[in-house]
Structure 1
């Protein structure tokens, strides 16, 4: 039979107990709930390796834009799958889409790339 041993519980100062701050420095600021949700949506869009490759490839072109027909072989996926990934990036505001004849062309939205970087500043 094991014997129970009482372990002393360290008492927190009253301020820490009521505010949740154990070190007394108080943490305020940061993103609001709405900003965090918007930032999470943006980060989810770029959190996929295929989408990162697509963004990188478009950024690397001389014209700053690329046709879906050129992007498909780059990532080795079917055209519908690549189109899905591009749609996610367009919906996140990272890319703009322009229909030219039978093909869709995509270009970066530089200010949205700045928004990604700004999340961590």
Structure 2
């Protein structure tokens, strides 16, 4: 059996690089570790970290096709971030102008969570730790 250690990173392709970069760094608070522009691909690549741990590669490419998010399509369903206070995260995102769903409770774990979307409609979740 393959001996996986952990998830190394998640790659996200965005349609508007400056908007998505600002969302992930200024709204969600990830830090920019490295940013490169690849001239031959007309593409930016940003390495983003959460508490010093590299977690997301943010890419731009010219003329990317839209991906269905709603109704739910096959593939990655959502990306979830753990927080101590779901209510505080909910309030903070609303103050930043992000449209958020209502806080719900997971019927199996009793933990609170809610969903919202990144600038391209990628479903994101905040989940109580």
TM-score when normalising by structure 2: 0.25
Rg comparison, structure with higher value: 1
Higher strand share: 2
Higher helix share: 1
TM-score when normalising by structure 1: 0.26
